[in-house]
């Protein structure tokens, strides 16, 4: 399992300021491994978010709930490639502190999901994040 923590502050920025701001802050930042490997300034991030029929995650965000969490499946490729990892992630917020916990899915398991996210699928042979996700599917009827 991997974990990351950071503080997030979001700002509205006019498009005409984007280039100058990017140039100004580039000297203070390290490039992400995926950017360095691709030789570009960006790369694809593909995320599949889960919510229940009441859209609880959506409304918690809209309502500004300061302590919340959500699950997603994330990959960094435009199409299935067994060499590119696929992760199940739990992203949680506590005020401005954001934490992300993720666990890599086995490629053969990911291929067989085909839209069927049964809670038992994530409890067999996985630890921590995937098991929590499986239990959340059951408890909150995520889909």
Q: pLDDT tens across 101-122, in order?
A: 998 887 666 655 555 666 566 6
pLDDT in tens, 7-27: 888 889 899 998 899 889 888
What pLDDT, on the 0 to 100 scale, is given for residue 56?
92
Q: Which two tokens mark 77?
A: 């490729």
Q: Are 58 and 51 within 8 A, CB to CB?
A: yes
Residue 32: pLDDT over 80: no
How buried is 40 (Cβ within 10 angstroms: 0-12 exposed, 13-18 middle, 19+ buried)? exposed
pLDDT in tens, 48-77: 888 888 999 999 999 999 999 999 988 887
Model pTM score: 0.74
Q: Which residues contact 82 (CB under 8 A, 6 or more apart)?
A: 107
């Amino acid at each position: 399992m991997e974990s990351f923590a950071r503080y997030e502050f979001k700002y509205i920025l006019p498009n005409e300021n984007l280039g100058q701001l990017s140039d100004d802050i580039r000297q203070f930042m390290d490039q992400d491994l995926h950017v360095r490997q691709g030789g570009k300034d960006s790369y694809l991030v593909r995320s599949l978010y889960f919510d229940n029929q009441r859209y609880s995650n959506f409304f918690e965000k809209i309502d500004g709930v300061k302590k919340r969490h959500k699950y997603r499946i994330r990959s960094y490729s435009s199409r299935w490639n067994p060499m590119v990892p696929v992760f199940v992630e739990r992203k949680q917020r506590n005020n401005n502190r954001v934490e992300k916990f993720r666990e890599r899915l086995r490629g053969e398991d990911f291929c067989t999901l085909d839209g069927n996210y049964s809670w038992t699928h994530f409890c067999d042979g996985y630890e921590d994040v995937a098991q929590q996700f499986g239990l959340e599917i059951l408890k909150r009827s995520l889909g």
